Amino acid sequence: MALFTKCATVLVGLLTLSDITMSESLATMRPRAEAAGRERVSLNDRWRFQRFVDNPDGLSYDILKPWILPAANDYLSGTRYDRPSEPGPGSNVTFVQPGFDDAAWEAVNLPHDWAASGEFDFSEDVSGGTGRLPFTGIGWYRKSLSIDARVVDSGKSIFLDVDGAMAYATAWLNGQLVGGWPYPYNSFRLDLTPYAKAGDNVLAIRVDNAPESARWYPGAGLYRSLNLVTADPVHVGYHGSYITTPTVSAEQASVSLRIEVENKGNLTQTVQVTSEIFELDSKSRKASGDAVAKIAASTATVSGGSKYSVNGSTTITNPKLWGPAPKQTPNEYIAMTTISSNGTVLDTYETPFGIRTVEYDPNQGILINGEHVPVYGSCNHHDLGSLGSAFNYRAAERQIEILQEMGNNALRTSHNPPAPEWLEIADRLGLMVMDEIFDTWNYAKVENDFHLLFPEWSEADLRTFIRRDRNHPSIISWSIGNELPEQSNSTGTATAKRLQDIVHEEDLTRHVTVGMNNAGPNTGLAAEIDIIGLNYQGEGKGSASSGSFAAFHSKFPNKMIWSTESASTVSSRGVYVFPVTSNKSAIVGGGPGEGGDPINSHVSAYELYAPSWAASPDKVFEQQDRNPYVAGEFVWTGWDYIGEPTPYDNSSRSSYFGIIDLAGFKKDRFYLYQSRWRPDFPHVHILPHWTWPDREGQVTPVHVFTSGDEAELFINGKSAGRQKRGQYDYRLRWDNVTYTPGEISVKAWKNGEEWATSSHRTVGAAAALNVTADRTTIHGDGKDLSFVSVAVVDEKGDTVPQADNEITFSIASGPGEIVTTDNGDPTDPTAFPSKTRKAFNGLALAIIRAEAGSTGEIVVEAKADGVSAGKVTITAS
């Protein structure tokens, strides 16, 4: 069975090498929803791609702009841009022409990030800021699509929906310029109807990534999903539904639904719009059971080429509320809207949503459904570690699941809109989201960043962002920006007012925030913004003992305050540098007690060290506890990410900020946050490891993180003392322990009751590779992933804490492939797709995918010289 499947897949693979079969037939593709009139098919598979370091086509945004800007019209309150009457540029570029032979280009599937599989550039003059991967250049993508004559003949509208493209995406169909959208993190729709024909069509997309266009690793290319939507000319517009729940109680919720009917035809049409509401099955994402409410028909008379919004409302009795896990349950509903004309269904449209209330209390913080929920949040960039920025549902879900295990209940999409599926995961798993749109406004952070687009595009980008995302119950706040250079002056205040007013026009149900790292209580920005969002300054930067929470609170007693960005503690998993500072928080450096190891470019995982603007978790916790009106924090960062390897930008390629490393292994800090964020979960964590052949007789501090309130440390069975946590202590520390080999163990208590125990013993030589998979059954859809971890263990099975054996991964049998490998080491120069990777402090990771359409067992093997190999079996189903 498995063999047969594999042959079939290979055959398909061979066929894709010919031009003819790189096409999709709309008639044969399965629609996502069995919606009357509307068909939505994925365009993710079977593209041809080529990257050019130097511009191959003479095109640029300046040349293309007059044809691209009209895409903003739907989102502008004032200015309108007319499309020039002449056909757009680019028609003479061979890549857009249907006859161009692209057989020599790379065959790729989307989502695709061309840079993540590249070599790291460790040249001396290159900074690690954007991750040392080759993201710059011009990328061309081509795909042929076959459009059924019936679609064209019946006058249907044909749209290209792009979830995001990095960057300055511009599309041509059959050699004609359609349009584009420059901001790489927003989703957009292009109308292909005027350019489409029955039969074979060729779609070509150009993306353009300038040097100095990002502060972190952006990824490159068609890094999110593309879909083709065909619909009756009269249909629900793009992101054309808006649901709110104006009143909510345990007995009853009112639901208001606005539907924007778009008429792409030439004649005025009168249609009926009705909606039914169902509970949403969170797994299948489908309506379940009978309708729980109905919105009676509204009639819309829509003239050709225009839009008309109808409003309806209904009530749901005994609503199942959406609320953040784990205390509340993230129940969801779905509205199914039908547009019909004289009984004929023209379109159906689905809007998943949730029923909940959010209050922003200046003295307590966030209340969801009336219950106070402290914000235990993290900021995260959009990359998915070794997979780069190409969106993958399972990789994103895994990131969020591991954060949730820590007690993380909130996420900030720093500093840009996420993939749409990412918000679906947040809704389903019950996280609160701060959805953020911009990192820059009028002024540059790097030469070619969004400030170049801001004057013409900020309104359109902001409105389309809100319209895409506003039905997600997970979103509790909109962030309009981060650490803007103009935050403290009148330009910043005026811009904040303009942007916040736009948000309020699009969605009045959520408060707006902005990340202020310098703007103080006397700035116009602080006075203007709904929620005071503080980056670092609230808890006090660096070694300052206290920060500005109190000053903001007394100046703005009616505004909620939260730390939009906190901590920025840096560490390398499993690295411990001696001596250890006796302070609660210290600025990282290369001197004694400063936590840095500049020779090896690592930072101590005692989790006490941070750059000059930042602080340890302990210090942040203390300032929050001293200022209990603060709603909570979004830690910088939950996960390590590619780029920004502060403090070793000159020698590394990925960050040290993560609580979780780039591969997904937990740093010690994970357990410090878990202690605070899951106080009822019994656990105790002890650091460092206890295998120090070179440290016999030397002081080797032992720190303990526990959700208990008291602990006793034992060294080789002998008590080293029992300690109770003081009011502003978040760890227990035995700083004078002298290392002797053997075992350290800890017993924790809470309220006098035994609570948890943990230990480390001195391990022997590396003997074997212990291989485990996060999931041993995955979908054979070519997308789902299993994350396979390898621990280098001694003969008793304990991880050898400093092992760096070179491990080679292989698929011993079955329809699987190794996508990438990683180990969480920010300095590792080995390219992500390499099948060989050194363990970093005892651990390495391989990411496994089953071939599309396959079933059967996949045996993943890991080998290294001098130790026994290990393997794990994954079943594709």
Sheet holding 365-368, edge to edge: 358-361, 365-368, 371-372
Q: Which neighbouring-strand residues pair with 732?
A: 704
Select the span of 71-79, 373-381, 789-797, 824-832 touching ligand NAG (CB under 6 A): 789-797
Please tell me whether residue 489 binds ligand NAG under the rule CB under 6 A. Answer: yes
**Which contiguous run of DSSP H or E holds residue 275?**
strand 269-281
- Angstrom distance (rounded) from CA 331 to CA 317: 14
Q: What is the 3-state secondary structure (H, E, C) of 844-864?
A: EEEEEEECCCCCEEEEEEEEC
Minimum gap (Å) between residue 311 Cβ and ligand NAG: 4
Give the residue, chosen from 735, 743, 754, 795, that forms a contact with ligand NAG under the rule CB under 6 A: 735
Strands 226-231 and 157-162 turn out to be antiparallel
Select the span of 110-118, 488-496, 546-554, 755-763 touching ligand NAG (CB under 6 A): 488-496
| Closest CB to ligand NAG among residues 58, 628 | 58
Minimum gap (Å) between residue 282 Cβ and ligand NAG: 29
Distance set, CA 816 to CA 1, 354, 845, 859 (Å): 14, 38, 16, 8
| Closest CB to ligand NAG among residues 57, 784 | 57
**Type of residue at 255:** V
- Which among 408, 473, 412, 406 is positioned nearest to 437, based on CA atoms? 412
Minimum gap (Å) between residue 55 Cβ and ligand NAG: 11
Positions in 43-82 near ligand NAG (CB under 6 A): 58
Contacts of 148 (CB under 8 A, 6+ apart): 25, 26, 27, 198
CA atoms within 13 A on the CB side of 553: 21
Which positions from 147 to 166 touch ligand NAG by CB under 6 A, shown as an x/- string?
A: --------x-----------
Give the residue, chosen from 25, 266, 301, 363, that forms a contact with ligand NAG under the rule CB under 6 A: 266
Select the span of 162-170, 322-330, 358-366, 489-497 touching ligand NAG (CB under 6 A): 489-497
Written as six digits, the tokens of 226 are: 């593309």
Q: Is 495 left (phi over 0), alpha (psi -120 to 50) or beta?
A: alpha
| Closest CB to ligand NAG among residues 265, 362 | 265
Distance set, CA 659 to CA 129, 617, 729 (Å): 19, 10, 19
| Closest CB to ligand NAG among residues 489, 757 | 489
Written as six digits, the tokens of 148 are: 């059924």
- Angstrom distance (rounded) from CA 637 to CA 614: 12
Strands 371-372 and 365-368 turn out to be antiparallel
Please tell me whether residue 772 binds ligand NAG under the rule CB under 6 A. Answer: yes
Of the candidates 483, 528, 622, 644, the residue annotated as catalytic is: 483
Positions in 565-624 near ligand NAG (CB under 6 A): 581, 583, 586-587, 593-594
DSSP state of 643: S
Q: Is 483 a catalytic residue?
A: yes
Minimum gap (Å) between residue 233 Cβ and ligand NAG: 5
Do 724 and 709 meet the contact criterion of CB atoms below 8 Å apart?
yes
Q: 10 Å Cβ neighbour count for 41? A: 18
Radius of gyration over alpha carbons of the chain, in Å?
28
3-state class (DSSP) for residue 623: helix
Q: Is 251 a catalytic residue?
A: no
Positions in 698-727 near ligand NAG (CB under 6 A): none
Contacts of 201 (CB under 8 A, 6+ apart): 98, 144, 145, 146, 147, 173, 174, 195
Please tell me whether residue 736 binds ligand NAG under the rule CB under 6 A. Answer: yes
| Closest CB to ligand NAG among residues 449, 486 | 486
Positions in 79-98 near ligand NAG (CB under 6 A): 92-93
| Closest CB to ligand NAG among residues 162, 771 | 771
Select the span of 309-317, 358-366, 384-392, 534-542 touching ligand NAG (CB under 6 A): 309-317
Minimum gap (Å) between residue 855 Cβ and ligand NAG: 23
| Closest CB to ligand NAG among residues 320, 497 | 497
- Angstrom distance (rounded) from CA 869 to CA 863: 5
Minimum gap (Å) between residue 770 Cβ and ligand NAG: 4
Select the span of 11-19, 143-151, 305-313, 373-381 touching ligand NAG (CB under 6 A): 305-313
Of the candidates 332, 459, 539, 565, the residue annotated as catalytic is: 565
Strands 375-379 and 632-636 turn out to be parallel
Which positions from 197 to 236 touch ligand NAG by CB under 6 A, shown as an x/- string?
A: ------------------------------------x---
Q: 10 Å Cβ neighbour count for 500? A: 20
Please tell me whether residue 868 binds ligand NAG under the rule CB under 6 A. Answer: no
Give the residue, chosen from 247, 288, 303, 311, that forms a contact with ligand NAG under the rule CB under 6 A: 311
Please tell me whether residue 509 binds ligand NAG under the rule CB under 6 A. Answer: no
Please tell me whether residue 254 binds ligand NAG under the rule CB under 6 A. Answer: no
Minimum gap (Å) between residue 718 Cβ and ligand NAG: 15
Please tell me whether residue 274 binds ligand NAG under the rule CB under 6 A. Answer: no
CA 821 from chain centre, in angstroms, equals 20
Which positions from 621 to 660 touch ligand NAG by CB under 6 A, shown as an x/- string?
A: -----------------------------x----------
Please tell me whether residue 443 binds ligand NAG under the rule CB under 6 A. Answer: yes
**Type of residue at 698:** Q
Positions in 828-847 near ligand NAG (CB under 6 A): none
Select the span of 375-383, 385-393, 568-576, 793-801 touching ligand NAG (CB under 6 A): 793-801
Select the span of 485-493, 515-523, 569-577, 679-687 touching ligand NAG (CB under 6 A): 485-493
Residue with tokens 């517009």: 237
| Closest CB to ligand NAG among residues 378, 789 | 789
| Closest CB to ligand NAG among residues 292, 769 | 769
- Angstrom distance (rounded) from CA 352 to CA 349: 10
Please tell me whether residue 766 binds ligand NAG under the rule CB under 6 A. Answer: no
Contacts of 225 (CB under 8 A, 6+ apart): 42, 44, 110, 111, 163, 391, 419, 421
Minimum gap (Å) between residue 437 Cβ and ligand NAG: 19
- Angstrom distance (rounded) from CA 877 to CA 875: 6
Distance set, CA 187 to CA 147, 162, 164, 238, 433 (Å): 23, 6, 5, 10, 18
- Angstrom distance (rounded) from CA 851 to CA 4: 13
Do 49 and 114 meet the contact criterion of CB atoms below 8 Å apart?
yes
Do 249 and 256 meet the contact criterion of CB atoms below 8 Å apart?
no
DSSP state of 62: H
Please tell me whether residue 105 binds ligand NAG under the rule CB under 6 A. Answer: no
Please tell me whether residue 303 binds ligand NAG under the rule CB under 6 A. Answer: no
# residues contacting ligand NAG (CB under 6 A): 35
Binding residues vs ligand NAG (CB under 6 A): 58, 92-93, 155, 233, 258, 265-266, 309-311, 341-342, 443, 485-486, 489-491, 543, 581, 583, 586-587, 593-594, 650, 735-736, 770, 772, 791, 793, 797, 799
Catalytic site positions: 483, 565
